Amino acid sequence: MTGLCKTYTDTSFQHQYVNQFKTWSEAQEYCRSVHNDLVTVENMVAMGSLLKTVDPQYKGKVWIGLVRGTRKQLHWSLWENTQPITYTNWLAGEPNGGTGVCGAKCLNGQWCDLYCSDLALFICFDENQGKNILVNTRMSWNQAQLYCRQHYTDLASIPNSTVEMEINNLIGGNLGQYIWTGLFVDSWEWSNSSKMSSFRNWKIAPTSYGNCAAVDVNNGSLWDNLSCELNLPFICEGGRSKLSIIKQCKVSAQDYYLQIDDGKVPAFFFQIKTRLIESGMSPDIRLQWRNLATGSVFKPKN
């Protein structure tokens, strides 16, 4: 089977580690005047790529382009789509306006928000297997996210009712318990406002103290929220450097009648994008399926 990708352009950005200690605002001003902006991070592959630019002798923290804003938004921990979330399944009265900022499946499998520090079972998504996995160990939301990223891909997303039903079947007898998904609410935004990335890699849930994000180079690339007035080195996102054209990419699928609105499509997006980034393409690439006349994503290989 072959999955057809719409022709797209890959406008790559050079990422530059700047070994000058500045406040977050000073770093932003520098990046915008000399390069393009403070860096946006879109996934773990991009995170690893960016860290390779940091001076190997430096073991401290580095500013990135994430800053606390004022407008709260709903996100999935793993979300390759640039569009806002449209499918939700909240319990009546949820989200309840501030008692929690991390999402879980609760009564009857519907959604509620909890304190991110609460302990619950959780669901990971494994992009290699293309399926969700229930982990019967209670952790905080951030611990669960880290576990999923270390052992699988990320906490599970629920983009539509089809995936919701699959996850309910997976949960089985645990339905009604608190079970973490990848859903979270925050008001953090990227310095480069033209980009939408829900990727976060916090060490712990952000406190109310610091409004700017930094990568802890010495602690597995986890993030801290710090006072924006601290002086740290930083990573800039440079100017456009090259243009590539991809007209078709091939992936295997057991069911080539996969529909464009099928919940499994994001998994294929993630897998393809990850492979392209690993092969040297920019994390800024955007993929979109070319929908066949039949409504299917895949067709039999000739």
Residue 98's pLDDT is what?
A: 62
Which residues contact residue 146 at a Cβ distance below 8 angstroms, ignoring those fewer than 6 apart? 222
Q: Is the pLDDT of residue 40 over 80?
A: yes
Average pLDDT, rounded, for the chain = 82
* φ and ψ at residue 269, rounded to 5 degrees: -55, -50
Q: Is the pLDDT of residue 121 over 90?
A: yes
If you write DSSP's letter for every residue of 12-70 in order, what string do you get?
A: EEEEEEEEEEE-HHHHHHHHHHHSSEEPP--SHHHHHHHHTTS-TT--SEEEEEEEEEE
Amino acid letter for position 6: K
Judge whether residue 228 has pLDDT over 60: yes
The three-class DSSP label of residue 137 is strand
The neighbour count for residue 290, using CB atoms within 10 Å, is: 13
More confident call, 62 vs 86: 62
Classify residue 99 by burial, with Cβ atoms within 10 Å: 0-12, 13-18, 19+. Answer: exposed
- Give the C-alpha separation, 198 to 81, whole Å: 10
- Two tokens, residue 9: 């352009």
pTM: 0.72
- pLDDT in the model for residue 220: 81
* 266-291 pLDDT per residue, tens: 666 666 766 666 555 555 566 665 55
pLDDT in tens, 141-196: 999 999 999 999 999 999 999 999 999 999 998 888 999 999 999 999 999 988 77
* pLDDT category of residue 299 using cuts at 50, 70 and 90: low
Which residue type is seen at 210?
Answer: G
- The reported pLDDT for the residue numbered 296 is 55
Name the DSSP class of 202.
Answer: B
Residue 247 has pLDDT above 60, yes or no: no
Contact 82, 193 (CB under 8 A): no
Q: Are 121 and 105 in contact (CB under 8 A)?
A: no
Count, residues in the chain: 302
Cα distance between residue 179 and residue 177, in whole Å: 6
User: Which of 290, 259, 269 minimizes the C-alpha distance to 79?
Assistant: 269
The answer, yes or no, to whether residue 301 has pLDDT greater than 70, is no
Which residues lie closer than 8 Å to 292 by C-beta, 6 or more apart? 4, 299
